[in-house]
A and B are shown apart, each in its own frame.
Chain A
Amino acid sequence: MIPGPDFLGLAGTIILTTLSTAVFLLFFGSRLNRWSTLAQRIPGWVGWLAAISVGRAFFEAIVLLVRLLERPEEHRSIAVHAFDWLSVGGFKVGFDFLIDPLSVTMVLVITGVGLLIHIYSIGYMKGDPRFSRFFAYLNLFTASMLLLVLADNLLLLYVGWEAVGLCSFLLIGFWFEKPSASNAAKKAFIVNRIGDFAFLLGILLIAGTVGNLTLGQVNAQAGAMAAGTATTICLLLFAGATGKSAQIPLYIWLPDAMEGPTPVSALIHAATMVTAGVYMVARMSPLFEASGGIALTVVGYIGALTALWAALMAAAEYDIKRVLAYSTISQLGYMFLAHGVGGYSAGMFHLVTHAFFKALMFLGAGAVMHGLGGETDMREMGGLRKVMPITGWTFMMGWLAICGVIPFAGFFSKDAILATAWAQGEYVLWAIGIATAFLTAFYMSRLYFRVFEGRVKVPEGVHAHDVPWTMAVALIPLAGLALVGGFLNLPGSLTLEHFLEPVVGESTVPHGLTPWLLAGGALLVAALGIAVAGSLYLSRSGNVRRRTLVHRLGPVAVAARNKFYVDEIYGYGIVLPAKRAAAFAADVFDPKVIDGAVTGIGRLVGRTSEAIRGMQSGYVRSYAATFLIGVVIITSVLLARVGT
């Protein structure tokens, strides 16, 4: 290894800064407010402290990027070892970190977007009685997510993987007084645990096959694995990703997760945590490549189907945050679609741009709720751009980006995915992707038009107001990034795909005339989606047209509005029978059958029944004494025999 900058120190600082702040705030955040007059004089100091710690991590991340870029391309993967964790009988796992283009990209997104969301939260969470706990959790989340992406072995990655799940649980259930919030939190954790169960089996299978969990070694030995083993491993890992990244069949927790405070939805359930699965598949791409076709086909199709499925539900939803949640599920599906056709850098590119524009839109939705007294029903809103100009204009950037309008960020990243799918000959996936692109443009325009355009409409008795400056300073840079984020990957300069090449392999995005034709097609589709939404929601006769459309769609519209009854199917098909079985075990089988049989045998063999009767009549101690004396007698008799 080339001696040079202290990479271990940098990685350690990045994680520990946020972790230590989290611990400090957890113990002293609200206490200092009670004890210290100084603390009382600086309102929101807790939030600023939390934001500063993330800011510090962001700064270190930039240093890390610079140090990485100083090195020649082939030396941009640095593994550092902090200390041993588990080490038994030749099996060794340590606190090892991997600094390479992929992890640094993720660290920059997490700390950069995270910083803006922290600042935004200072305004958004103002006045909440658990203000300091919120920031403690948010910092704990940041630290866990950083651990996840910096880990150099799968077990440490799993630590971060479950820790972000815990933070998600804590933050979804932040307002735990509401049963809906605590239910959503529990659901999120348990559904994720099901995915993690598969993930853990995958890790065990790797440990048993490779004897080691270091990322580099696992990927290096992927080629030597039996195809069946590699495929099984990949499918198990991907099953974990369907939990964390909310894909079919485990996506059901994410819409409910909107019970959490909106900055949480932006940071955890849009920009960072839910992309952990996408990151993980990119990270393990050599393994997925080596496993042959099946695993990647599954990844691609699950991603594509999820993208379409969630987009359909988004189009029928009235809750502004839930539309965004379905949209996130759908966009994550896009990223998996990209991975499935071997377009790892395209998938990562979309991850980055999506982090910008979706975080922006969630924060915009939060601003709307903030301005309208917590209202989330889009039917109660309208024309808000006039009342809340900063929110409206910045949201517009996000809307155009996700629709894929040139030159906004989403145009480039979505186009890279679709072009890759086409170039790989995956026309079915491409077709699903383009259909989803239409739906995306439609439902997001529906949201945008309903909420921000048209006649001004606010819930009764609400005095709508725009965001305070702490929230605006988060919205504006994100809007900027939604606008120019796509240039990260313009050919010529240092492009993201070129930067990531050492990790995920050469980009498969085609060049030449075809991609331009495809891009033009995608643009037309986006325009069509926007136009349809406009005719339904902006024009005066939209009302009538909407009714006709819903009527024509009939049961499809009803089903989509009811989330295709998936929650009900799981509830009655799995949860209820399982609960009944558990109740039978707890109330009948264990006390009656097992206890009955065991004590019954006891009664036959010994004098248990008398003992119990004796105990009821109050001679317990005498019986106990009898037993003890019996033991002593038997022992002494036997021993006496030996003694003589």
Chain B
Amino acid sequence: MSDVPFLDITIFVPLAGALLLAFIPTQRSTWIRYGALAVSLIAFVTSLGVLLNFETSNAGFQLGSTASWIPQWGISYATGVDGISLWMVMLTTFLMPLGILASWSIEKRLKPYFIFLLALETGMLGVFSSLDLFLFYVFWEATLVPMYLLIGMWGYERRIYAAMKFFLFTLVGSLLMLAAILYVYFSVQNPTFNYQTLLAQVHFDAGVQRWLFLAFFASFAVKVPLVPLHTWLPDAHTEAPTAGSVMLAGVLLKMGVYGLIRFAIPLFPNAAREFVPWIMALAIIGIVYGAVVAIMQRDLKRLVAYSSVAHLGFVVLGVFVGSIQGMSGGILQMVNHGLSTGALFMLVGALYDRRHTRRIADFGGLAKSVPILSGVFLFVALSSLGLPGLNGFVGEFLVLLGTFLSYRWWVIPAAFGIVLAAIYLLWAYQRVFQGEPDLEANRTLPDLRVREMIMLAPLVALIVFIGVYPKPFLDRIEPAAQRVVTVLNQGRPTPELQSSAETQP
């Protein structure tokens, strides 16, 4: 079985499917919808091949392939996953069919919509699987265009502004990264873009490392986004169609963190180490600031967008605290955020489909008219605010524990984020779902349809599963995470738990 290149197949299935979709006549909208769904499901199934063949305890890259592409320039097609990218790949293939289901109500220009969505999927999968910097950059930029078009063409009122802002913010970042990639490329004896070769060969002195790290960091920090580079996010999220928001929050933001883990830290470990306190400070500011700003939002989608800023703050914090608990928790939290926030965006989208508004003040009392939708919303909100027993808590607790082990005082403002999360989510829940439905329009809404339940059920199931039994995830994350932590910590003692940990029966 493992001879089948599941990973490479998974990467290109969506693109191939997109090309096939192009041949379906435009007026056959049902064929297009089901075709897109089928393609994304095939990609999910092949990605299961990746998951099942993954060796749990192996910290290195697996299941990929290498082929020379443009050998005279040192460019190769090199792929592979480790315990970190594995889950990013799985998250992508898992969310895409759900995102397509969430797009069922799209009527206009259906065909290009699904083509872009599937092209986006190949781009994202490529980003997470590339082991060649050139290939990585190509995929990285390749996600930009479909996302830009999805927001700009199928978005809401201010879509053009939002799409442009998204595009420019990200592009400025990526240009800096491109320059840094090229510098790295030229810095070795036989210029190459191959990640693993570069990793073994590059040695930069401190000053150069600092600049290169900052160039990579700028690109990734915009994507994450870290405060103060986050202002494109609320606009992009608010204006994007539901599936756009789901993929944006669920996967695209993770590309930023992933880039930090995969490239910025291992290639420039000394600089990364140097900037740890600064990055942690930005992460914690993000946790608190994102939550505070979320509290007073009037638009439900904007509120969820700002909650993403807070959540991604937790992720980045975990990644940079330099302990295995923090790193593993941060990576798991990326998956959790994809599930919870993805579900929240779907629910907000479902509300928009019914009421054609996202303004919190336009709702009220919906728990009476749409009890199932309201129950699912509350459930997902609880996972998002880190209720123990659900997925968010597992990630957040590990991040906080990791933070505490390395920098004990920093944990106080970070942990305060859980109080703020309860405030903005429950207050929003109260205003939207509780009370009497005063407006006539809120009294007669249809509850979740079967399609919507099918698209939310897998998310709900995973939210519980990870909350109760995260072991299958953590076991695969830990070896790869440990490798990055070791790199980040060189020259600094790794924080250890007390020895009594071993005495437990």
Q: Which residues of A contact B (CB under 8 A)?
A: 79, 81, 83-92, 155, 158-159, 161-163, 166, 169, 173, 176-177, 179, 182-183, 185-186, 189-190, 193-194, 196-197, 200-201, 204-205, 207-212, 214, 217, 221, 579, 581-583, 585-587, 590-591, 594-595, 597-599, 602, 605-606, 608, 611-612, 615, 620, 623-624, 627-628, 631, 634-635, 638-639, 642-643
Contact = CB atoms under 8 A, between A and B. Distances in A.
Contacts of B416: 197
A86 B394 contact: yes
Nearest to A221: B500
Given A197-B418, A586-B293, A586-B296, 10 more contacts: A88-B329, A162-B389, A177-B436, A182-B430, A193-B422, A204-B415, A594-B227, A598-B228, A606-B172, A638-B182
A211 B228 contact: no
Interface string B435-479: 110000000000000000000000000000000111100100010
Interface of B: 72-74, 141, 145, 148, 152, 160-161, 163-165, 167-169, 171-172, 174-175, 178, 182, 185-186, 191, 227-231, 289, 292-297, 323-325, 328-329, 365, 367-368, 382, 387-389, 393-394, 397-398, 400-401, 404-405, 408, 411-412, 415-416, 418-419, 422-423, 426-427, 430, 433-436, 468-471, 474, 478, 482, 496-505
A582 B290 CA distance: 10
A590 B293 contact: yes
A88 B228 contact: no
Contact of A602 (B172, B185, B469): B172
B468 A85 contact: yes
B197 to A, nearest CB: 15
A193 B418 contact: yes
Contacts of A169: 426
B296 A204 contact: no
B411 A204 contact: yes
Contact of B478 (A89, A177, A207): A89
Contacts of B419: 190, 193-194, 197
B73 A615 contact: no
Contacts of B397: 86, 155, 200
A89 B422 contact: no
B175 A631 contact: yes
B501 A211 contact: yes
Nearest to B144: A628
A477 B416 CA distance: 45
A635 B412 CA distance: 45
Contacts of A186: 426-427, 430
Contacts of B161: 612, 615
19 contacts: A85-B471, A88-B329, A89-B324, A89-B328, A163-B388, A166-B387, A177-B435, A193-B418, A197-B416, A204-B411, A210-B500, A212-B504, A579-B295, A594-B228, A594-B230, A599-B165, A606-B168, A628-B141, A642-B191
A214 B423 CA distance: 31
A211 B501 CA distance: 5
A351 B408 CA distance: 36
Nearest to B423: A190
Contacts of B229: 598
A585 B411 contact: no
6 smallest CB-CB distances across A and B, nearest first, come from A211-B498, A89-B324, A586-B296, A182-B434, A595-B231, A211-B497
Contact of B405 (A159, A161, A208, A594): A208
A207 B500 contact: no
Contacts of B289: 585
Q: Is the interface of B mostly helix, strand, loop or mixed?
A: helix
Contact of B501 (A173, A179, A212, A599): A212
A634 B171 CA distance: 14
Contacts of B169: 602
A21 B161 CA distance: 51
Nearest to A580: B296
A84 B469 CA distance: 8
A193 B386 CA distance: 11
Nearest to B405: A208
Nearest to A129: B368
A159 B397 CA distance: 12
A87 B474 contact: yes
A590 B292 CA distance: 11
Contacts of B163: 620
A200 B400 CA distance: 9
A83 B472 CA distance: 13
A519 B176 CA distance: 80
Contacts of B294: 586
Given A189-B422, A197-B415, A163 B498 contact: no
A77 to B, nearest CB: 13
Nearest to A157: B388
B160 A615 contact: yes
Contact of B141 (A84, A583, A620, A631): A631
B474 A88 contact: yes
A91 B325 contact: yes
Nearest to B182: A638
A155 B388 CA distance: 9
B151 to A, nearest CB: 11
Q: Which interface residue of A83, A88, A189 has the most chain B CB atoms within 10 A?
A: A88
Given A208-B404, A599-B231, A608-B168, A581 B426 contact: no
Contacts of B191: 642
A161 B389 CA distance: 11
Contact of A86 (B72, B165, B295, B474): B474
B435 A176 contact: yes
A83 B474 contact: no
Contact of B482 (A86, A89, A196, A624): A89
B325 A88 contact: yes
Given A200-B418, A586-B297, A211 B435 contact: no
A587 B296 contact: yes
B56 to A, nearest CB: 13
A620 B394 contact: no
Given A208-B408, A590-B231, A88 B167 contact: no
Nearest to B289: A585
Given A86-B470, A176-B434, A190 B292 contact: no
A494 B384 CA distance: 48
A506 B400 CA distance: 37
Q: Which interface residue of B191, B397, B416 has the most chain A CB atoms within 10 A?
A: B397
A162 B436 CA distance: 28
Contacts of B408: 208
A163 B387 contact: yes
A583 B292 CA distance: 8
Contacts of B502: 90
Q: Which interface residue of A161, A208, A602 has the most chain B CB atoms within 10 A?
A: A208
B484 to A, nearest CB: 13
A190 B469 CA distance: 27
B160 A620 contact: yes
Contacts of A597: 228
Q: Which interface residue of B394, B423, B468 has the most chain A CB atoms within 10 A?
A: B423
A90 B231 contact: no
Contacts of A627: 167, 171
A89 B323 contact: yes
B427 A162 contact: no
B296 A583 contact: yes
A84 B504 CA distance: 13
Contacts of A598: 228-229, 231
Contacts of A212: 497-498, 500-501, 503-504
A153 to B, nearest CB: 10
A189 B161 CA distance: 39
A634 B418 CA distance: 45
A634 B178 CA distance: 9
Given A197-B418, A210-B498, A608-B168, A88 B398 contact: yes
Contacts of A638: 182
Contacts of A207: 401, 404, 497
B205 to A, nearest CB: 23
B337 to A, nearest CB: 18
